[in-house]
Structure 1
Amino acid sequence: MRVFLDVLIARFGKVPYGDRDGARRLQWALLFVSRNDMTFPYALVVFDLDGTLVDSGADIAEALNRTLAEFGLARVPEATVLGWIGEGVRKLVEAAWRHAHDATPIDAVMPTFMRHYAACLLRSPRLYPGVAEALAQLRARGVTLALCTNKPSALVLPLLRHLGVADAFAALLGGDSLPERKPSPLPLLHLAQQFAQPPAHCLMVGDSGTDLQAAHAAGMPAALVRYGYPRDLDLAAADVVLLMDDLRELLALG
């Protein structure tokens, strides 16, 4: 939220009375941004999905626990599962099977997990507060938006349609869309090339070390949200242009 205070001070010379409350600070900053045609500094913004735009952790945990149960294994607390999200479904299942000390080959587990994953996809996902507004306002400023997730590509569009934001994105990349996925820089470089933008003119927005590593390897600036599934990432020490509690804070960049 610090960036909001900087914007307000630059405009008003002070923070308006009563604005120390987070919600009111956000209201003032958005009002200022909406009334001033600020040029957004990035031509392309690439978003992560789970933990950045969408709170889907409970559904992913349920799919994994249904899979464990089908193999006669104990359920895992949701909080534990959240720490495994971010590097793709196979890594998720591998983490669960290591946790269970079970020797079943992962190749034998994956079809069952994918069946439950698809069944749980639309169980209870929700956009994080401010996401729909941030996407709409970025598009209104002429910014191209793309999605780069490690979620299987077949599940991405149905989820976005369910949440009403599918039309916001000019391109979608899933974890199986290319030969490599995040933290490889390949997906981000692919998107930058697709839209004829140098990586330095693009912004990666995510919630995890996987996103940050991919951005750094691609030579792309990064912004991170403080919510989501950051695992062991030290957000305070992360080399980013912005740390956010609400995606609408992106709108104050300029």
Structure 2
Amino acid sequence: MEFVLTDENDERFLKLVLELDRGYYERIGDELAKYDEYNEFKTPHVVLLALDSNCPIACASYRTFNENSVEFKRVYVKKDYRKRGVAYGLIKQLEKLVIRDNFRYSYIVTGKNNHAAIELYKKLDYQLIDNFDEFADDEAVVCMKKEFKSKKLAIFDFDGTLLDSVHDVVDCFNKTLTKYGFRNLTREEFLKYLGGNIDEIVSLILEEKSTPENIKMVKDTYLNMYYSSDKEKSVPFPKSHEILRYLQDRGVILAINSNRFNDSIDTFLLRFFTDIEFISRMGHDFDYPSKPDPYGVHEIIKKAGVSLDEAIYIGDSSTDIKTARNAGIDCVIVKWGYGNEDDWNDDYVLEAIDDFDEIIKYF
């Protein structure tokens, strides 16, 4: 199944809407006519279709309700595809656009007896409110509302997000590989192996020669060489320090979640980020699981005292996306790191950004 973004003029969407209205007519008959004007597409709608083998099987849309709110409308899933989480997925995908465009609230109007839909919206954190506007005296419908809270906690990946460190890492790895007669790697080849902890990275680099003995030998030599090197090529990405300072000055809680060892993170924090206060830095530690396990994120959230929907993960790779997904928090991906287009286009990602300034709107 894939999601396709379109608008209210898409014929595939209009056919699904006809099916939706046909179902309503079977249930409430001529009463449906009194909602005709409300259901007309008088203003532009953002529409999301769900396709199965290129066949439209579900839809959802929203329109701008006022300057800081949207209204979700025309949510429909074909009968054979219901109870599979399709409607939930559609609305979650549309909510990413709502958050990205800095709307704070969303509204939904649905039938009072549409119990399945009401339960779905409650699962998505919508609350029942007093009926509004033309529905104020309409006992056949209910109105619901959701607030998109500003984020209070920013959890940053380190390498590839805040720090450009790959050049020193590749240099030390290649010196180690040369010492033991293994093939050297280009920067591009090495980037494919990033994301896991040091043992996982070494295992991938060694490929068919990955044995416990070789992994330990290469890892130990690499770490000794890396820790003793000056790491002069490792520097913050442009605006890394500026955005951290900006968020800190505005009361945003900052943290780091990385698969780099904690003492190594601390070396660079002391070198480049001495005036930034991180509530926690959860790096690689043998006493707890590495990313993409959500352990580190959950520990950070617990220490910060915020809810899941008040936290956001900022990273650069598929490992960061998996970490955020496993933790149940939103995720933004930066394009200047070590990820690729598949990561930027991942359905879970709120947005893939080209400039650090683009995350300000989430706080």
What range describes the TM-score normalised by the shorter chain of this pair?
0.7 to 0.9
**Equivalent of 1:117 in 214, 226, 231:** 226
Following the alignment from structure 1 to structure 2, what is the Cα–Cα distance between the partners of residues 149 and 102? Answer: 24
Structure 1 runs (4+) greater than 6 angstroms displaced: none
**Equivalent of 1:97 in 182, 188, 206:** 206
**What's 1:156 paired with?**
265
Assess, with a 3 A threshold, how the Cα gap between structure 1 residues 60 and 166 changes in structure 2: closer, same or farther.
farther
**TM-score, with normalisation over the residues of structure 1?**
0.78
Higher percent of residues as helix:
1
Following the alignment from structure 1 to structure 2, what is the Cα–Cα distance between the partners of residues 90 and 43? Answer: 34
Following the alignment from structure 1 to structure 2, what is the Cα–Cα distance between the partners of residues 212 and 236? Answer: 11
**What's 2:345 paired with?**
236
What are the Cα deviations for residues 64-113 of structure 1, in whole angstroms up to 9, with x where unaligned? 111101212232111111221121211111111116x4655312322111
**What's 2:173 paired with?**
64
What fraction of aligned residue pairs are identical, expressed as a percent?
A: 25
**What's 1:16 paired with?**
none
**What's 1:186 paired with?**
295
Preserved contact between residue 262 and residue 285 of structure 2 (Cα < 8 Å): yes
**TM-score, with normalisation over the residues of structure 2?**
0.56
**What's 1:171 paired with?**
280
Following the alignment from structure 1 to structure 2, what is the Cα–Cα distance between the partners of residues 166 and 92? Answer: 32
SS at match of 1:223: strand
Over alpha carbons, which structure has the higher Rg? 2
Following the alignment from structure 2 to structure 1, what is the Cα–Cα distance between the partners of residues 268 and 214? Answer: 29
SS at match of 1:63: helix
**What's 1:200 paired with?**
309
Task: Establish whether residue 146 from structure 1 lines up as the match of residue 275 from structure 2.
Answer: no
Following the alignment from structure 1 to structure 2, what is the Cα–Cα distance between the partners of residues 42 and 82? Answer: 30
Following the alignment from structure 1 to structure 2, what is the Cα–Cα distance between the partners of residues 242 and 114? Answer: 35
SS at match of 1:58: helix
Amino acid at match of 2:322: Q
**What's 1:209 paired with?**
318
Of structures 1 and 2, the one with the larger relative CO (CA 8 A, separation 6+) is 1
Following the alignment from structure 1 to structure 2, what is the Cα–Cα distance between the partners of residues 146 and 78? Answer: 28
Amino acid at match of 2:294: P
Amino acid at match of 1:55: D
**Equivalent of 1:227 in 336, 341, 352:** 336
Aligned length in residues:
217
Preserved contact between residue 332 and residue 350 of structure 2 (Cα < 8 Å): yes
Q: RMSD value over aligned CA atoms? A: 2.3
Amino acid at match of 1:57: V
SS at match of 1:149: strand
Following the alignment from structure 2 to structure 1, what is the Cα–Cα distance between the partners of residues 286 and 255? Answer: 14
- Displacement of 1:167 in angstroms is 2.9
Following the alignment from structure 2 to structure 1, what is the Cα–Cα distance between the partners of residues 284 and 301? Answer: 17
Assess, with a 3 A threshold, how the Cα gap between structure 1 residues 138 and 155 changes in structure 2: closer, same or farther.
same
Following the alignment from structure 2 to structure 1, what is the Cα–Cα distance between the partners of residues 287 and 300? Answer: 11
Amino acid at match of 2:299: H
Assess, with a 3 A threshold, how the Cα gap between structure 1 residues 209 and 121 changes in structure 2: closer, same or farther.
farther
Following the alignment from structure 2 to structure 1, what is the Cα–Cα distance between the partners of residues 293 and 268? Answer: 24
- Displacement of 1:165 in angstroms is 4.7
Amino acid at match of 2:186: P
| Structure 2 unaligned blocks of 5 or more | 1-66, 68-148
SS at match of 1:224: strand
**What's 2:52 paired with?**
none
Amino acid at match of 2:276: D
- Displacement of 1:201 in angstroms is 1.1
- Displacement of 1:170 in angstroms is 1.9
- Displacement of 1:57 in angstroms is 0.8
- Displacement of 1:231 in angstroms is 5.1
**What's 2:152 paired with?**
43
